[in-house]
Chain A
């Protein structure tokens, strides 16, 4: 890899670093001591990023293929309710219940993929519809209440007790797997090709329909994993959980260099992108800003981050 393209890859990281430094000084001057860059606070940020990052792995693949998935927040809610329901009502042990929930996420993705490719309706609309469907299904499954099963090993996925909880390790391992998948497999190249130029991919014999469905299924499976983390954070299944999560996830992919037109994006970029929002929110609250101020700040930073990224791309810096 040449130095130039390395810099493009690391651009989002530099931006994150700038945001981090900004809040470090802001919080320091506000409180008079360093409460931002402490291990405890950094761990909080990491935990908050883990859910977005996990769902972001799947979203990266979907966006690479030229698609989008607005239903990911609802899928996370549905799977977190599913795992709670399997634990509580069916009495399943933790591991099978977790597998069942991830599988449910995969089915959601399968439905998205089949609808997008067979109805030939744009993914934005299809997943806007399934966003409502999955949210409704989650509420129906939970009977419009939170489902609170007893303690299980799933609670410890995002347990603050350990230095880095198992959920974060899981995210790191899966991220490495996806990165290898994108770089070293035919499926990965087909994803990039489909998103970059569907016509050219088709001409080269790439099975476009299959590639797209696979991307949505994988997206659903990762949303299912994110649902497990969501469950672990709340230690219950909440059908109204993760509202607007889809926007955080899409933002993470785009800040990380993903293009909504398809064909561009990377795992490492998405993971860095996933750290932005929690860092901003955490920093704003530590600075003592009112929530309305922190929302405006988050919006401004997102626009600046993506605009400078696109500018660097155009200039080839």
Chain B
């Protein structure tokens, strides 16, 4: 397959996912037509069945140039993508233990996809690039905070491809190549 064909397939896949997403969202909106009492009892059931799962996030620190693990809880889901989304959302919230947040505060997660080959495509809002401080160390911190956190917590995820506004970008700030899927770098993690 040529690069063009891969890109085309990627775009088609993306369209399919978006269509499915819209379809399902509409269905969910249509569903809660039932009575309020029914809704309430449903919610109770949900709360009872909510199961938490411990995960590890990686943040840079003021102390050294390494990434440090911070434990967090997410809601368990049968869908891996749902859990992976939560990991990225938690990363974007920043650290509770005084580590550095390597993301511009405005950054939003747009989408997250997983291919059969184990590549997670993580799509961020333009802020991650436009408001990035630039610089090799800063870009490496941002990238490997995401990549290591996703690969560490989910076995099926082998590599991570970072997208901005749904598109492949050259770099965040002129240094590290974003037009490739990243493998994790656990050498960057403090022992």
Asked whether A and B interact, the reply is: no
